[in-house]
Amino acid sequence: MVASAKTAPSPRFRGKSYLAMVLQPVDPLDLWLQSLAELGQRSPGFFTTRPIVLDICDLSINERELMTLVSALEKTGIRVMGFEGARDSILAPGLPPVLSGGRQSADISAPGKPKAAQPKPSDTSSLLVESVRSGQSVIFADGDVTVTGSIASGAEVVAGGSIHIYGALRGRAIAGAQGNAKARIFCRKLEAEFLAIDSSYLTAESIDSTYSGQPVQIRSEHETLKLDVLR
């Protein structure tokens, strides 16, 4: 009887890229953390869709203080995936690694204090009877968002459900922000800077120019975004 040798399968590596938001702490840290906590209470979904990188290049901090800072951020729902500008001497075991080579992109504006017209937490949809202007960030984690106007370049809409845009989509649209891969994005005119459903996304450079200016439906299929022209 001849014994057959089993061959171990080769490791499989998949290439993927993710857009991260960079936070830059400033002194005094207790006031900075307080402002982040207030933002998290005001807009619960603001940090849920974004990997977070902590830029501490301008911060005078030691190993113990860095551990305390990371722990304080986790209590506010912010989990750090990496650091910029951190010295090896202050990185304790178990902390995320130092990242480099990040490409600069447009800044993300934090949402302001809610207006009286904001939907109640019990609502399952949000209707905006106006356009979303550049620099604005609209976040509704509890359901669908409908925009009767357009989403300007530099503006952002984040929804726990689907996003319906009656005008042009020139900014960022993130649907299914709470892990709903069945959510969809609809717009009358596609000129988007960024599209995402659940964990799948497309940047402006990766969107097929065939769909530019078209009325489009965006859906997620097998962790890939698919675009369909609406007729």
Judgement on whether residues 56 and 134 belong to the same structural domain of the protein: no
How does the average pLDDT of the chain come out, rounded?
81
Residues 151 and 224 in one domain: yes
Query: What is the 3-class SS of 190-207, one letter each residue?
Result: ECCCEEEECCEEEEHHHC
48-52, 135-139, 157-161, 179-183: range with lowest mean pLDDT: 48-52
Of 68, 90, 112, at which residue does a domain stop?
90
54 and 147 fall within a common domain: no
CATH number of 177's domain: 2.160.20.70
Same-domain pairing of 130 and 55: no
pLDDT in tens, 26-47: 888 888 888 877 776 666 566 6
For residues 159 and 223, state if they share a domain. Answer: yes
Instruction: For residues 73 and 134, state if they share a domain.
Output: no
Q: Are residues 141 and 76 in the same domain?
A: no
Q: How far is CA 121 from CA 124, 142, 157, 176, 226, in A?
A: 8, 7, 17, 17, 31
Tell me whether residue 71 is in a domain.
yes
pTM over 0.75: no
Same domain, 78 and 156: no
Distance CA 144, CA 169 (A): 16
Residue 99 lies in a domain: no
Question: Whole-angstrom Cα distance, residue 57 to residue 39?
Answer: 23
Residue 83: the pLDDT is 85
* Domain harbouring 64, CATH code: 3.30.70.260
Residues 131 and 196 in one domain: yes
pLDDT single digits (tens) 87-134? 877 887 878 888 776 665 555 555 555 443 444 444 578 888 899 998
Q: Range of 65's domain?
A: 21-90
* Ordered strands of the 194-197 beta sheet: 137-140, 156-159, 172-175, 194-197, 200-203
Q: Examine the domain organization and report whether 138 and 224 are in the same domain.
A: yes
Residue 175 has pLDDT above 90, yes or no: yes
Residues 136 and 225 in one domain: yes
How many of the other CB atoms lie within 10 Å of CB of 101?
A: 4
For the chain, the domain total comes to: 2
My answer on whether 67 and 148 are in the same domain is no
pLDDT computed for residue 213 by the predictor: 94
In a domain, 96, yes or no: no
